[in-house]
Amino acid sequence: MPDFTLSLTINGAAHDLTLDTRTTLLDLLREHLGLTGAKKGCDHGQCGSCTVLLDGRRIKSCLALAVAHDGAEVTSIEGLADGDAMHPIQAAFIEHDAFQCGYCTPGQILSAVAMLDEAREGWPSFATADLQAEPALDEREIRERMSGNLCRCGAYANIVPAIHDAATR
């Protein structure tokens, strides 16, 4: 297979990489850069454990070919904190004990960060009752907006309150 050279900004650092054109963004992060926070859960885009931010929007990196995103900015869980200061979602997950095994946690956190941005921008979800009003982030709305991220341990009882708490801060 032919190689392709691309440039990406990953967690604030510029990277020029030459990759096989079949390399997914997930494999680029894990295998080429050693950033193992995004997990390969299902490798079919169904579980969300590989969620990262691409130009500020959440994507499932197992489905994204790296060559399609030349010039993009990627944020993985390793780049979410500001130095030693955790992102408010990270702090809320710890405060609410919103994880058990932790396998899905990086994807859950990054999805929650993007989901809150989407809600602030007024994006409705399937659960949004009034499309003209600002979305109210109640439990039903949060669950719907986070439905692309699965937790095999069933820590939703703590994940949803953690997200709600971070949203109201």
Angle (CA) 90 94 96, round 5°: 115
Strand order in the sheet with 13-20: 13-20, 3-10, 73-75, 51-54, 57-60
Task: Considering only the C-alpha atoms of the chain, give the largest distance between any 2 of them, rounded to a whole number of Å.
Answer: 50
pLDDT (0 to 100) of residue 60:
98
Q: What are the extents of the domains in the chain? A: 3-78, 88-168
Structure tokens at 126: 């399937």
Mean pLDDT within 74-91: 96
Name the band, by pLDDT with cuts 50, 70 and 90, for residue 169.
confident
Please state, in angstroms and rounded to a whole number, the distance separating the CA atoms of residues 36 and 46: 19
For the CA atoms of 41, 84, 53, 144, what is the dihedral angle to 10 degrees?
Answer: 70
Spelled out in words, what is the top-level CATH class assigned to the domain 88-168? mainly alpha
* Mean pLDDT, rounded, for 62-85: 97
Q: Which two tokens stand for residue 139?
A: 């439990």
In the beta sheet, which residues pair with residue 65?
A: 24
Q: What is the mean pLDDT of residues 120-139?
A: 88
| Kind and range of the H or E run holding 19 | strand 13-20
Q: Which fold has domain 3-78?
A: Ubiquitin-like (UB roll) (3.10.20)
- What pLDDT digit, counting tens, does each position of 98-125 carry? 999 999 999 999 999 999 999 999 999 9
Q: Residue type at 87?
A: H
Residue 110 phi/psi, 5° resolution?
-65, -35
pLDDT of 129 reads 86
pLDDT of 31 reads: 97
Q: What is the pTM of this model?
A: 0.95
Per-residue confidence (pLDDT) for residue 1, from 0 to 100:
62
